[in-house]
Amino acid sequence: MSFFERLTGKKSASSAKERLQLVLIHDRVDITPAVLEALKEELLAVISRHVDIDPSSVHVELATEGRSQRLVADIPIKPVARRRAA
Amino acid sequence: MTGKVITITSGKGGVGKTTTVANLAVALAADGKKVVCIDGDIGLRNLDVVMGLENRIVYDIVDIVEGRCKTRQAMIRDKRLPELFLIPAAQTRDKNAVSPSDMVRLCDELRPDVDWILIDSPAGIERGFRNAIAAADKVLIVTNPEMSAVRDADRVVGLLEAEEKNAPSLIVNRLNPSMVKRGDMLSVDDVYDLLRIDVIGIVPEDENVIVASNKGVPLTIEARSKAGLAFRNIARRLNGEQVPFLELESQGLWERLARLAGRK
């Protein structure tokens, strides 16, 4: 255990679990982080054509529910008032 | 009788499939059931040595499939348990000598005369794995509480889902309770959270497993070891019994004293 781990109290089993959670999601759906990033960019491009959104607050991620995976996109829309002011 | 076919697989090698097959077979046969084990690992056979039957092999599974012997002739009877049989893998043959449909045919032939057919799958997800799961009524996936074993187990679960097999169950083998306690090993709950399949057995790491395989006497036959007990419990669960999981937490002196005090 490194000094840092001792300090934060983080044990190797919990990092194993976190790492596995990510690895398993990508194994199951065969979507690499790079593909996910490309998907996000394209999604943003399409949506921006119709709706005013703030790219920095968009979250597109893979989520697990039991043994099934879903693609979750959280895309906040800029309020109308702010758009007018801009 | 309509024998039930149980396939034991894992994805990753070395997690304890063969040990599991040998011990479940012994536990089921000790209960008076007729059990046939099939070693599905053609070219790397091992179930024979773990069961201590390596000197009695005449025919093997490829001889059955290719018609050089009758199925019965390749079934080695375990002298300690007269209702326990092994069909060994071929050691020197091409592993493509057996196909999934051969396995289905063999199991269908055995089913009417036995209670249980246990198939020891090879590691990996290729032909041997396909053969091993082809006839399975139930698949047990053996894993260790460790990154690569859990990851490979997940791949196998995915492949079984794709094949539309019945939902598999999980055996977490080689759990080290004191490492779990100090946070340096995934717990059974962690493994369940990750894989989300039914847990049918938790087997602690146990030196007796090596001793037993050295002697060719499966644990469940003699030693009163924790791992042996865990395997016997899995066999009882396969028979439909509700058996609680073993208390594996290694207890310190204080906990033991506190327990004793609590009992008064």
Q: What pLDDT, in 10s, does the model give residues B12-23? A: 999 999 999 999
Q: What is the pTM of this model?
A: 0.87
The long-range contacts involving A54-63, CB below 8 angstroms and separated by at least 24 positions, are: A54/A78, A60/A36, A61/A36, A62/A25, A62/A26, A62/A29, A62/A31, A62/A36
Q: What pLDDT, in 10s, does the model give residues B32-57? A: 999 999 999 999 999 999 999 999 99
Contact predicate B41/B120, CB 8 Å: yes
What are the tokens at B86? 């092994």
pLDDT at B176 over 90: yes
Least confident range from A27-36, B130-139, B167-176, B206-215: namely A27-36
Q: From the list A11, A20, A23, which residue is nearest B184 (CB)?
A: A11
CB contact under 8 A, B183 and A14: yes
- Give the CA distances from residue A49 to residues A20, A46, B17, B59, B138, in Å, rounded to whole numbers and listed in that order: 37, 5, 56, 71, 52
Q: Which residues in chain A touch residue B154, judged by CB atoms under 8 angstroms apart? A: 24, 27-28
DSSP labels for B42-103?
TTS--HHHHTT-GGG----HHHHHTTSS-HHHH-EEPSSSTTEEEEPPPSSS-GGGS-HHHH
Q: Which residues in chain A touch residue B151, judged by CB atoms under 8 angstroms apart? A: 20, 23-24, 27
- A22–B contact, CB cutoff 8 A: no
- B157–A contact, CB cutoff 8 A: yes
Which pLDDT score, from 0 to 100, does residue A84 have?
A: 55
Q: What is the dihedral of CA B250, B256, B259, B261, to 10 degrees?
A: 180
pLDDT at B78 over 90: yes
pLDDT at B26 over 50: yes
pLDDT at B256 over 70: no
Closest CA in chain B for residue A22: B194
Which pLDDT score, from 0 to 100, does residue A19 have?
A: 95
pLDDT, average across residues B95-101: 91
What are the tokens at B73? 């002739």
Class for domain B4-241+248-263, per CATH?
A: alpha beta
- Min CA distance, A30 vs chain B (Å)? 11
Q: Which residues in chain A touch residue B150, judged by CB atoms under 8 angstroms apart? A: 20
Chain B residues 171-200 with CB within 8 Å of chain A: 180, 182-187, 190, 193-194, 196-197
Which pLDDT score, from 0 to 100, does residue B20 have?
A: 97
Contact predicate B141/B9, CB 8 Å: yes
Taking chain A (86 residues) in runs of 10, the rounded mean pLDDT of each run is: 62 95 89 88 92 89 87 88 56
Q: From the list A11, A20, A66, which residue is nearest B151 (CB)?
A: A20
Mean pLDDT rounded to a whole number for chain B: 93
Non-local CB neighbours of B240 within 8 Å, separated by 6+ positions = none
Which pLDDT score, from 0 to 100, does residue A63 have?
A: 86
- B167–A contact, CB cutoff 8 A: no
pLDDT, average across residues B67-84: 95
Q: What pLDDT, in 10s, does the model give residues A28-48? A: 988 888 898 999 999 999 999
Q: What is the DSSP letter of B224?
A: -
Q: What pLDDT, in 10s, does the model give residues B105-159? A: 999 999 999 999 999 999 999 999 999 999 999 999 999 999 999 999 999 999 9
ipTM: 0.84
pLDDT at B191 over 90: yes
Q: What is the DSSP letter of B241?
A: -
- Min CA distance, B137 vs chain A (Å)? 21
Q: Which residues in chain A touch residue B146, judged by CB atoms under 8 angstroms apart? A: 16
pLDDT at B254 over 80: no
CB contact under 8 A, B183 and A17: no
